[in-house]
Amino acid sequence: MKKIYIVFLSAVVGIWMISCKSASKLYQKGNYDEAVQVAAKKLQKDPNDAKLRSIVHDAYRYAVTDHENQIHTYSETNNELKWEWIYNEYAALQNLYNAIYRSPSVYELIQPVDYSTSLMTYAEKAGEMHYQRGIQWMSNNNQQAF
């Protein structure tokens, strides 16, 4: 019985350790958005952790650069879904802002940009595109288009 308890406890601890996300591992893998969110959350508990402060600062910078590059790429395409794609990039940027905003020490360190205005602008453009697309399909006046 004792062996079963030890094996079960070991398995639970092992799974728990694997499931714990490390901001530095996420950063090293290039998962900058997730690294920012994990580091910001951990910094709420220990705002003086120098390593986490460095990681959240660098990860935020790389994440913003990645999303802004995607926005630039999408804005130059002629695809009718570009507004939706740009909206999704701004939504990811706003999620980073929200994660950082919840931690005053991280907010002071990074001073993130609030993308809520851009988010609303592109939500409207994406919505208008979907509306126009629906009107266009309805003008086909057939069952498949409806």
Question: Rounded to an integer, what distance in angstroms lies between the CA atom of residue 88 and that of residue 70?
Answer: 10
Of the pLDDT bands very low, low, confident and very high (cuts 50, 70, 90), residue 16 is very low
pLDDT in tens, 61-80: 999 999 999 999 999 999 98
Question: What are the φ/ψ torsions at residue 114 (nearest 5 degrees)?
Answer: -90, 115
pLDDT of residue 4: 61
Q: Is 5 or 100 the better-scoring residue by pLDDT?
A: 100
Amino acid at 33: D
CA distance 77 to 74: 5
The verdict on residue 4 lying in a domain is no
Within-domain flag for 12: no
146 belongs to a structural domain? no
User: Band of the pLDDT at 2, cuts 50, 70, 90?
Assistant: low
Alpha helices in the chain (DSSP H): 2-19, 23-29, 32-45, 50-75, 82-101, 104-110, 116-139
- Domain membership of residue 8 (yes or no) is no
Q: Band the pLDDT of 3: cuts 50, 70, 90.
A: low
Whether 36 maps to a domain, the answer reads yes
**Interatomic CA distance for residues 32 and 6, integer angstroms:** 37
pLDDT tops 60 at residue 14: no
Establish if 14 belongs to a structural domain: no
Its domain, for residue 110, covers: 22-139
Residues 6+ apart with CB under 8 A from 7: none
Total tally of structural domains belonging to the chain: 1
pLDDT, tens digit, 9 for 90 and up, residues 130-143: 898 888 888 887 77
Q: What is the gyration radius of the CA atoms in the chain, in angstroms? A: 22
Separation of alpha carbons 88 and 92, rounded Å: 6
70 contacts 91 by C-beta, under 8 angstroms: no
What average pLDDT does the structure give for the chain? 86
- Residue 1 pLDDT: 56
Q: Is residue 75 part of a domain?
A: yes
Q: Note whether residue 17 is domain-resident.
A: no
